[in-house]
């Protein structure tokens, strides 16, 4: 009899919960939403997050508050949101290092794929391979020839271990079979300062970081790392075009929610995100910052996240990067 009573209570609770969850989704959102960013205010990730949060809040009819939880390459923010209530009021804005952190850190308190559901892809931004003006090579052909003739003498500055720039140069080295000395900095700013001063030969910043310095003759452009040329730099060829077919690396940003968030809430968020990303004022702002609006379905975002994790996991293992 006790078992029957327990089952009856459980069934009653489930039946009572279904209308509650349905009402929750239909009423969503009825209060402010928080978007957590795992990087400091003023950086590229934070700026993109604030642009989309402002427009998304207007589409949803509720303010969206951006909260910065910097540290551990985004891990602190991800851990916080993974443990937050799955009700659509705590979201996470990530850059693609989110999916590679599991291979860069010895232990994470969350799974970057399983513990999150993507609301959608937000924006991508091209990366450019640049050099100090005094560095002899002017393109990929000349760079690889120099590196093969002078093993370890070409130097490259990264904004940190496991960053997109770091993984991109490691993929280039492995693909071409060349030895380039990699020097890690604490951020893109210090790395770029040393490249412009001629202390280090090269780096891979975002297009928005590189173009103003190139116009000021403080950097020269060698190649784009994306599979296609950016409309903001149409005359600069890609690494793939310069003799390495299939080579591709870019930064993408996405909006995520805890994995147990009701699908009806996720659908509402995805629809609103796509509306925000197609608004002319948002498109203009993102493109001014060197970004290309993305959008699309949840499934497309999930597919890209998983494929990127597989791609970079292979690179990380090939070059022997050890988890920290």
Residues 188 and 105 in one domain: no
In a domain, 267, yes or no: yes
In a domain, 6, yes or no: no
Residues 179 and 210 in one domain: yes
User: Angle 192-284-163 (CA atoms, 0-180°, nearest 5)?
Assistant: 30
User: What phi, psi does 78 have (nearest 5°)?
Assistant: -65, -40
pLDDT of res. 324: 82
Quote the DSSP letter at residue 73.
Answer: G
Beta bridge partners of 238: 224
Cβ within 8 Å of residue 147, ≥6 positions away: 153, 154, 176, 178, 179, 180
Residues 115 and 261 in one domain: yes
**Alpha-helix runs per DSSP H in 177-237:** 188-196, 207-215
User: Could you give the angle at which helices 280-288 and 263-278 cross, rounded to 10 degrees?
Assistant: 70
pLDDT over 80 at 102, yes or no? yes
Domain that holds residue 155: 128-224
| CATH assignment of the domain containing 49 | 3.40.190.150
CA dihedral 62, 63, 68, 74 (to 10 degrees): 30
- Cα distances from 184 to residues 192, 203, 242, 258, in angstroms, run 12, 10, 26, 32
pLDDT over 50 at 8, yes or no? no
Residues 118 and 133 in one domain: no
Q: How confident is the model at residue 5 (pLDDT cuts 50, 70, 90)?
A: low
Quote the DSSP letter at residue 206.
Answer: B
Residues 49 and 67 in one domain: yes
Q: How confident is the model at residue 17 (pLDDT cuts 50, 70, 90)?
A: very low
In a domain, 58, yes or no: yes
Answer with the residue of higher pLDDT: 303 or 3: 303
Residues 220 and 136 in one domain: yes
In a domain, 1, yes or no: no
Sheet holding 90-95, edge to edge: 64-68, 33-37, 90-95, 250-258, 116-126, 292-293
The residue from 209, 224, 239 where one domain ends is 224
Mean pLDDT rounded to a whole number for the chain: 91
In a domain, 96, yes or no: yes
Count structural domains, the chain: 2
Answer with the residue of higher pLDDT: 21 or 162: 162
In a domain, 27, yes or no: no
Residues 150 and 114 in one domain: no
Q: How far apart are CA 44 and CA 95, in angstroms?
A: 10
Over residues 241-299, the pLDDT tens digits come to 999 999 999 999 999 999 999 999 999 999 999 999 999 999 999 998 889 999 999 99
**What is residue 8's three-state secondary structure?**
helix
In a domain, 14, yes or no: no
Residues 135 and 120 in one domain: no
| CATH assignment of the domain containing 191 | 3.40.190.10
Asked if residue 182 lies in contact with residue 166, where contact means CB atoms within 8 angstroms, the answer is: yes
In a domain, 214, yes or no: yes
Asked if residue 215 lies in contact with residue 91, where contact means CB atoms within 8 angstroms, the answer is: no
User: What phi, psi does 225 have (nearest 5°)?
Assistant: -95, -10
């Amino acid at each position: 009899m006790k078992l029957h009573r327990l089952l009856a209570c459980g069934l009653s609770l489930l039946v009572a919960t279904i209308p509650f969850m349905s009402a929750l989704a239909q009423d969503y959102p009825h209060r402010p939403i928080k978007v957590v960013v795992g990087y400091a205010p003023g950086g590229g990730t934070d700026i993109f997050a604030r642009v989309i949060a402002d427009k998304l809040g207007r589409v949803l009819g509720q303010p969206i508050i951006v909260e910065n939880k910097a540290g551990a390459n985004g891990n602190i923010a991800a851990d916080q949101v993974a443990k937050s209530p799955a009700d659509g009021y705590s979201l996470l804005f990530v850059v693609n290092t989110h999916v590679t952190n599991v291979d860069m850190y010895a232990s994470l308190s969350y799974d970057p794929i399983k513990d999150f559901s993507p609301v959608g892809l937000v924006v991508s931004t091209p990366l450019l391979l640049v050099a100090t003006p005094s560095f002899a090579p002017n393109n990929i052909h000349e760079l690889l020839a120099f590196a093969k003739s002078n093993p370890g003498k070409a130097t490259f500055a990264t904004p940190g271990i496991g960053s997109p720039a770091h993984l991109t140069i490691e993929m280039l080295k492995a693909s071409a079979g060349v030895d380039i000395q990699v020097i890690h900095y604490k951020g893109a700013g210090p790395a770029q300062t040393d490249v412009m001063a001629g202390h280090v030969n090269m780096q891979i910043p975002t297009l928005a970081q590189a173009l103003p310095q190139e116009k000021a003759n403080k950097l020269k452009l060698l190649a784009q790392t994306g599979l296609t040329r950016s409309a903001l730099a149409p005359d600069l060829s890609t690494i793939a075009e310069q003799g390495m077919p299939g080579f591709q690396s870019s930064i993408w940003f996405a909006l995520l929610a805890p994995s147990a968030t009701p699908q009806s809430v996720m659908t509402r968020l995805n629809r609103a995100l796509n509306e925000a990303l197609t608004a002319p004022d948002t498109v203009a702002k993102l493109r001014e910052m060197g970004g290309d609006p993305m959008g699309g379905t949840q499934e497309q975002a999930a597919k890209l996240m998983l494929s990127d994790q597989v791609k970079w996991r292979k690179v990380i293992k090939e070059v022997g990067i050890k988890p920290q």
